[in-house]
Structure 1
Amino acid sequence: MAPEIMTEEGVHRVQRRTVVLLAAAQVFGGIGTGATVSIGSILAVELSGSSAWAGAVATVMTLGAALAALPLAAVAERRGRRIGQVTGLSAALAGTVLMVLSVVTGVFVLLVLGAAGIGVGTAASLQARFAAVDLADQEHRGRALSIVVWAVTVGAVAGPNLIQPGTVVGSALGLPPVAGPFVISGAGLLVAVLLVLAGLRPDPLLLARELAASAEARLSGTPPPGLPHPTSQAAGRTPGALVRGMRAIRSSRSALLAVAAVVAAHAVMVGVMSMTPLHLQHLVEGPGASHAGHIASGDVLVIIGFTISLHIAGMFALSPLMGWLTDKAGRTETIMIGCALLITAVLVAGFGEGSTAAVAVGLVLLGMGWSAATVSGSTLLAESVGQESRVVVQGVSDMLMGAAGAVGGAISGLVLSWTGYLGLNMLGGVVGASVLAAAFLARVAGRRQSAAA
């Protein structure tokens, strides 16, 4: 059906199908990331022969996601969400193949390249949340976005639990047992690619552009124009995607607040979460327990695993609630709620650093704060800039988000060694309080403008 004659119910039907399909693709695609995070550090040490490379896989995945965000957004801007998602998921699929080859051949470089490919898939997974709101009406944007974010929970939980079955699959295929989980991951990613390639039709972004162009044409009384492409200007005169995205963000106070909320929440979450396992080991076994060559006891691993699982549940399982709050309470108000949760989290975990229970509660609140800020900030960003720059702005936001996570993870160890776990949490509290203050001022300014109008 042509966009200019598509009914409102027809658009809603396409939107519902888009959200369901994106959520399903997130479930299958997320399995690859979960398995890689779980055993990547073990493989890195085994293949490199040095514990110094233990964090290489996680670091490369994070950087890969950050560096791929803007190029994937540029692909989506030119050719639509479907091609952008397929490109990112295909890179992740290739990454799982390289992971298997690295195990078979014992070549460490292939492991690193595979992690980079899976990182590109992570960037595509993040951008799927924006595809969920291309056709959503204002009253339900937060809900649509949060459903796609929630779907990550299944993959994040299933991935680590596929390690044991994966070893059976690897042995059955004549591969090293540790390669099996990546075979399952690759199968999941292949299903995700096929789902998006065949099912994401019509493309939500391209359809939204056509509907907007048709509506504008009806208002102006001119014939409907062709599909507008923001990059249709002459080559050489069009600013780069990063420049265009930053210009659009700076031109909108709402977009600035949205990006600040998403980036700050991610930096605080990664910074505190990445050092919590080490702190818990110190807490249970003593400060000298993490010396070189020491393996944490089984009890400590159980405590760490349980705490991180609760944290992941806080991040993703409650995202539909955060979407409902975003739609009902408001975008800026939910950002404030997210920042308040982050501040509460670091206070509980920091001042309760001597209690494993307090740290676990703090990590749950940290995940909930991240979820509230990310869902509401992403929703606000999607409606704070024009259609012509929306996709590239979303790419810039994800790039900055990934970079903030990488920086937060990198400096958290230094902060922990200088100031301790309490000091690390207090630094996170300062970051959260800064965004909370900015959101409060934006809310006050918005009310003044409404009163003046």
Structure 2
Amino acid sequence: MTDQHADDPAQDREPGSAAELTEPPEQRRILRTLVLAQVLSGAGLAAGITVGALLAQDMLDTTSLAGVPIALFTVGSAAAAAGVGRLSQRFGRRPGLTTGYAAGAAGSAGVVLAAVTDSVPLLFAAMVVYGSGTATNLQARYTGADLAAPARRGRAVSTVLVATTLGGVLGPNLVSPMGRLAAAWGIPPLAGPFLLSGAAYLLAALVLGLLLRPDPLRLARERAAVVTIGDTLGQGAGSTTTAPTGERAAGGSGGVALGASIMVLTQLVMVAIMTMTPVHMAAHGHGVGAAGAVIAVHVAAMYLPSPLSGWLVDRYGRIVVAALSGVTLLAAGVLAATAPTDSVVLLTVALALLGLGWNVGLLSGTAIITDSVPLERRATTQGSVDVGVALAGAGGGLASGVVVAVAGFPALAVAGGVVALAIIPIIAATARPTRRSIADPAAEPTP
């Protein structure tokens, strides 16, 4: 391989050697368990997102503060990301993820109680705890990559993400039925979806607590230790278990900064526009059912393209796909801003593009982070990065209501698209020193 070829992500070979694709037999079972848990947690995540701003608007009787609960929920998500990361690093993925989903279920119950008692302080506090479910849902993507071969990391992450699609699409479409069920029980209809969230998060916690065995992060450490001992004894060449080459060739702190920046910007833009879309639709005469359908398509676009996105990340490199996310988010913002207020179809397309832009940004950023951090601090670093991602979402959710109240939804959508384009200059400034390792984490250094 020549140096020119190595420096060109578009020319990266399709990794396929036995060493590059070595994975333990437990990986398939672990992925199946994660898929089941993600289907459940996706329903909990999407149901709450659909009506969170509307419930706040109803209880606070103002649009300008409608984004506050979503902001608080993302602040809670930030705290949970750090906590789940630390728990996972110390005790393994299973305890970390199980605890996070259990907290999400408790937060859902708190939101329902707040709606019943018409307590705004309780609503705010419960939304913080409810954010644990979202943080855990995102942390699970890293779990899929713990045992994945470097050449398959993008696809392993995508398998976990795409599983969220079924629950994510089902959840918003159950808004109206859950509202009717809640009303029959004497609960405000807008709190109904949080009944679904609580049950979904609790079931996800039970699935992981019972079935996520062996713990993937702990097993990855054991495999890495075996390889290290083998190399020390001069037997590394004959070992059947290979350490991820991407960890040896990683971009270090530069890779972490780049991956974090990509995910922070995509989260900021996505949350801001998504949060105000149901409020924008309600202001122009569209019902909760229509808003739920639009959000369902949006959530589907956030997760359903993951297999293709993961393949693109592995085949063409992290950098190319990350740049694509900025362009896609710009297109989403422009279309959302220019769509006629009576056109649910165009707004749906815009929200689909918004979800797709988030998806390719998250997958490329996640792969960069995983490539750049060794096992001994992987979960902690991943949790810390997700803190920044969640805080970006909190900022987007908090600012979105104010921007819409002052300048309108179109201004918010266009501004979000422009902000997303900052991904491209950040790549240009950050990626060059680590271009080789990020584009092809499975490639060995050129002699």
Q: 1:448 to 1:153 in 2, by over 3 A?
A: closer
The match for 2:263 is 262
Kept after mapping to 2: 8 A contact 1:267/1:404: yes
Is structure 2 residue 94 aligned with structure 1 residue 82? yes
Shift of the 415–167 alpha-carbon distance from structure 1 to 2, 3 Å rule, reads closer
Alpha-carbon RMSD across the aligned residues, in angstroms, is 3.6
TM-score by length of 1: 0.78
Deviation for aligned residue 1:14: 1.1
Q: Aligned AA for 1:15? A: Q
Shift of 1:446: 5.5
Give, in angstroms, the shift of residue 411 of structure 1: 2.5
The secondary structure found in structure 2 opposite 1:74 is helix
Matched, 1:320 2:307: yes
Distance 1:346 1:102, change over 3 A: closer
Q: Which has the higher contact order (CA 8 A, sep 6+)?
A: 2
One-letter amino acid of the counterpart of residue 17, structure 1? R
Paired with 1:40 and 1:352, the residues of 2 have a C-alpha distance of 24
Q: Is the 8 A contact 1:169 1:177 kept in 2?
A: no
Shift of 1:204: 0.5
**1-side partners of 2:83 and 2:328: how far apart?**
33
For 2:217, which of 205, 217, 220 is the aligned residue?
Answer: 205
Q: Does 1:98 align with 2:110?
A: yes
Deviation at 1:259, TM superposition (A): 0.8
Q: Report the AA paired with residue 360 of structure 2.
A: A
The residue identity in structure 1 corresponding to 2:310 is: G
Q: CA deviation at 1:440?
A: 4.5
**CA displacement, residues 312-334 of structure 1 (integer Å, 9 cap, x when unaligned):** 22212212211111111111121
Question: How far, CA to CA, are the matches of 2:341 and 2:193 in structure 1?
Answer: 36
Which amino acid in the other structure matches residue 132 of structure 1? G
Q: CA deviation at 1:203?
A: 0.6
The one-letter code of the counterpart of 2:143 is A
Equivalence for 1:336: 323
Distance 1:10 1:444 in 2: 29
CA contact 1:168–1:177 (8 Å) conserved in 2 = no
Instruction: Judge conservation of contact 1:63–1:119 (CA < 8 Å) in 2.
Output: yes
Partner of 1:148: 160
User: Could you list the runs of 5+ residues in structure 2 that have no partner in the other structure?
Assistant: 1-18, 236-249, 438-442
What is aligned with 2:85? 73
The answer (yes or no) to whether the contact 1:250–1:256 under 8 Å persists in 2 is no
Check 1:348–1:445 CA distance in 2 against 1; reply closer, same or farther (3 A cut): farther
Show the 5 A alignment for 1:169-318. 176=187, 178=189, 181-221=193-233, 252-277=253-278, 290=283, 296-297=284-285, 299=286, 304-318=291-305
- Partner deviation per Cα, 1:392-414 (whole Å, 9 max, x = no partner): 11111111111111112222344
Alpha-carbon offset, residue 215 of structure 1: 0.8
Aligned counterparts of 1:184 and 1:452: Cα–Cα separation in 2: 53
> Which residue pairs with 2:386 in the alignment?
398
- Name the structure 1 match of 2:240: none
**Pairwise CA distance, 1:144:** 1.2
Q: Does residue 372 of structure 1 match 2:360?
A: yes
Percent identity between matched residues is 36
Is the partner of 1:252 in helix, strand or coil?
A: helix
183-192 vs 312-321, which moves further: 183-192
For normalisation by structure 2, the TM-score amounts to 0.79
In structure 2, how many angstroms separate the alpha carbons of the residues matched to 1:423 and 1:169? 37
Gaps of 5+ in 1: 1-6, 224-248, 282-289, 291-295
Q: 1:415 to 1:177 in 2, by over 3 A?
A: closer
CA distance in 1, matches of 2:21, 2:315: 23
Separation in structure 2 between the aligned mates of residue 302 and residue 177 of structure 1, nearest angstrom: 16
SS in 1 for 2:199: helix
126, 133, 157: which one aligns with 2:145: 133
Distance 2:106 2:357 in 1: 34
User: 1:120–1:217: structure 2 CA closer, same or farther, 3 Å change rule?
Assistant: same
How far is 1:416 from its partner? 4.8
Pair 1:94–1:373, CA change in 2 (3 A):
same
1:124 aligns with 2:140: no
CA spacing shift, 1:354–1:181, aligned 2, 3 Å: closer
CA distance in 2: counterparts of 1:10 and 1:147, whole angstroms: 18
Q: Which residue is 2:38 aligned to?
A: 26
Distance (whole Å) between structure 2 residues aligned to residue 394 and residue 37 of structure 1: 24
For 1:234, the equivalent position in structure 2 comes to none
Q: 1:95–1:114: 8 Å Cα contact kept in structure 2?
A: yes
Across the two proteins, how many residue pairs are aligned to each other? 407
| 2: CA distance, partners of 1:103 / 1:300 | 20
Q: In the TM superposition, what is the alpha-carbon distance from 1:201 to its structure 2 partner?
A: 1.0
CA contact (8 A) 1:341 1:366 kept: yes
1:326-375 Cα shifts (integer Å, max 9, x gaps): 11111112112222222333344445677845544333222211110101
Paired residue for 1:382, among 363, 370, 381? 370
The residue aligned with 1:14 is 26
